[in-house]
Amino acid sequence: MGTSLAELNTLTETWKYKGPIFDAHTHIGEPDTLEKMVIIEEEYGITAQTAIVHTKEGFEAARDRYPERFVFAKYLSLTDIAHYNVEPVVDDIIRTKDEGYTLAKSWFGPRWKDYIEGVPTGFRIDSPKLDPIFQALEDNKLPLLIHVADPDTYFELHYQDASKYGTKDENLAQLENVLERHPNVAFQIPHFGAQPEIHRLPNLARWLDKYPNIVVDTASSRWMARELSKDPEKARKFLIQYADRILFGTDLSTNRGDHAYYGGRYDTQRILWETNSRDVPLPFEDADTKDSGGTFVNGLDLPLNVLRKLYWENATQLYDFRR
């Protein structure tokens, strides 16, 4: 039997975890949208965060207004990387820490090929031509937040052209080749390593066992809820086993949505991680399942010591975050 909206409201008032929360995956854009995000985040217990920077103005505003809140991630040039133009990227990496950033970000969701013109035929992120970039990351002790692949549902609904986008397994194989060749680079792989689907958890476990230099985050809320809720017992065992390697993250952005947009994503993850509730309707629409019955959350009821690591300890230790 599903959870009613009244019961959902009661759930959100009685969280198990009472401490501060570090959101290890957010985006900031223009300065005029920043305050709204911070106000809503603080209402939901988010007191620190990793911010992937989209504009210089947004970075400067966040740094100056909230000097003890943010860990900043700088985008590396997708256009240069996609054309194997490594020199400017290496130069950028060398400057990154001096500019006030703690880590770099690289986005290779399959649809990146829709936005960049003139990509060399057969481009691969594991090409040896890109090795100087990863060497520069290692030399400068700069972690990389690297997005590769997307939900299984995206490959079913949007990426049917495998000749253009590759299969999901092919995307993941390229990323693993990068991990294999660059064991001294610290990687944050978002979206549960792009593998929260229950049938993919054994492969993600293999990665975490084999590559001690990687962590994963839990962005985005609907992806985590949709997939991990399909087998809460198996998902719970995974979260407990790899509790030291998982960071809470949402993928929320300053320039999207209102209070309900943010709140729905935060509530979803807290229901997922902290409760033992069953069949809770996702508080917002999941475009991937709206025509097939919707998404429902089944809580994993994680132990408090795991929640402390997930919400705060792992990220603050990884990024040496101190107030």
Q: What's the pLDDT score for residue 256?
A: 79
pLDDT by residue (tens digit) across 284-312? 999 999 999 999 999 999 999 999 999 99
Among candidate residues 172, 226, 166, 174, the one with its CA nearest the CA of residue 194: 172
Residue 4 has pLDDT above 70, yes or no: no
pLDDT by residue (tens digit) across 259-275? 999 999 999 999 999 99
Residue 161 has pLDDT above 80, yes or no: yes
pLDDT by residue (tens digit) across 59-91? 999 999 999 999 999 999 999 999 999 999 999
- Tell me the average pLDDT of the chain: 95
Rounded-to-integer distance, Cα 323 and Cα 68, Å: 6
- In three-state form (DSSP H/G/I as H, E/B as E, the rest C), the secondary structure along 168-204 is HHHHHHHHHHHHHHCCCCCEEEHHHHHCCCHHHHHHH
Rounded-to-integer distance, Cα 277 and Cα 291, Å: 24
| N-to-C CA span, the chain | 45
Across 123-152, average pLDDT: 98
Q: Which two tokens stand for residue 225?
A: 């809820």
Domains for the chain: give ranges and CATH numbers.
17-273+303-318 (3.20.20.140)
Give the confidence band of 9 by pLDDT, cuts at 50, 70, 90.
Answer: low
Rounded-to-integer distance, Cα 306 and Cα 323, Å: 23
Q: What's the pLDDT score for residue 77?
A: 97
